[in-house]
């Protein structure tokens, strides 16, 4: 398998990444996978914008909507398949319950992604677990985002909600370590985005675990 490697210090990296997404009338699914602090959310948003610029309907689904709490990484890929990917493959509409991190439970069911994506576009699923073994049969492209450990640590330290995240940081890191040791998504990636500069700081996590 030929793996596309792009670096975010090149101006056209997002366009090159969008060019790797297959075209077609059906819904295509892209996973943006990587460790906490690697810059996944920024890569996903830049990819979405580049897809829109080439005339595609595109939307981003963050995995933090599907994690059932701070101990929920292992379960989330199955929810992604059940609520989103299998319905889309069957020609139906993805429906899922967004996790409410303040309340500590899933909210009411809601229909997403937007209609144009559900009928033929690109769904970008972003977050740890999006490249799980159970998810991979549904993917048209898997993107691995990587950054040096020191960079990832600085990003996690500078999060707007760092104080809230701090008590769970070790818990989440342990789940990530088990997940990556067992699932090994990096080895199945179609594209690798290398970053580490100040331009990829990610959006402020509102509910979950970047």
Residue extents of the structural domains in the chain: 4-194
Q: What is the rounded CA–CA span in Å between residue 108 and residue 176?
A: 28
Residue 113: cis peptide before it, omega within 30 degrees of 0: yes
Tell me if 36 sits within 8 A of 177, measured CB to CB. no
Is the pLDDT score of 202 beyond 50? no
pLDDT digits (tens, 9 = 90+) for 115-136: 778 778 999 999 999 999 999 9
Q: What is the rounded CA–CA span in Å between residue 120 and residue 143?
A: 20
Going by CATH, does the domain composed of 4-194 fall within 3.30.360.10?
Answer: no
Q: Given this model, what pLDDT does residue 162 score?
A: 65
Of 5-14, 64-73, 140-149, 150-159, the least confident:
150-159
Is the pLDDT score of 207 beyond 60? no
Mean pLDDT of the chain: 87
Q: Write down the pTM of the prediction.
A: 0.88
Torsion angle of the four alpha carbons 11, 13, 16, 18, in this order, in degrees rounded to the nearest 10:
-110
Of 19-23, 88-92, 177-181, the least confident:
88-92
Q: Which residues of 128-138 are buried (b: 16+ CB within 10 A; e: fewer)?
A: bbbbbeebeeb
Residues sharing a CB contact under 8 Å with residue 170, sequence separation 6 or more, in sequence order: none
61: left (phi over 0), alpha (psi -120 to 50) or beta: beta
Strands 58-62 and 122-126: parallel
Helix 162-183 and helix 149-157: axis angle, to 10°?
Answer: 150
């Amino acid at each position: 398998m030929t793996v596309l490697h792009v670096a975010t210090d090149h101006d056209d990296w997002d366009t090159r990444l969008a060019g790797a997404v297959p075209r077609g009338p059906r819904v295509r699914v892209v996973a943006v996978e990587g460790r906490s602090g690697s810059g996944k959310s920024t890569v996903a948003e830049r990819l979405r914008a580049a897809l829109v610029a080439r005339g595609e309907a595109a939307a981003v689904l963050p995995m933090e909507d599907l994690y059932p709490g701070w101990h929920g990484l292992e379960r989330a890929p199955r929810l992604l398949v059940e609520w989103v990917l299998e319905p889309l493959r069957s020609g139906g509409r993805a429906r899922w319950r967004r996790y409410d991190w303040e309340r500590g439970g899933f909210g009411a069911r809601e229909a997403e992604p937007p209609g144009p994506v559900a009928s033929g576009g690109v769904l970008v699923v972003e977050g740890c677990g999006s490249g799980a073994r159970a998810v991979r049969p549904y993917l048209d492209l898997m993107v691995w985002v990587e950054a040096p450990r020191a960079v990832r640590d600085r990003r996690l330290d500078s999060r707007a909600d760092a104080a809230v995240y701090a008590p769970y940081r070790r818990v989440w890191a342990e789940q990530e370590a088990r997940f990556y040791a067992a699932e090994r998504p990096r080895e199945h990636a179609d594209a690798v985005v290398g970053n580490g500069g100040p331009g990829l700081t990610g959006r402020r996590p509102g509910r979950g675990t970047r």
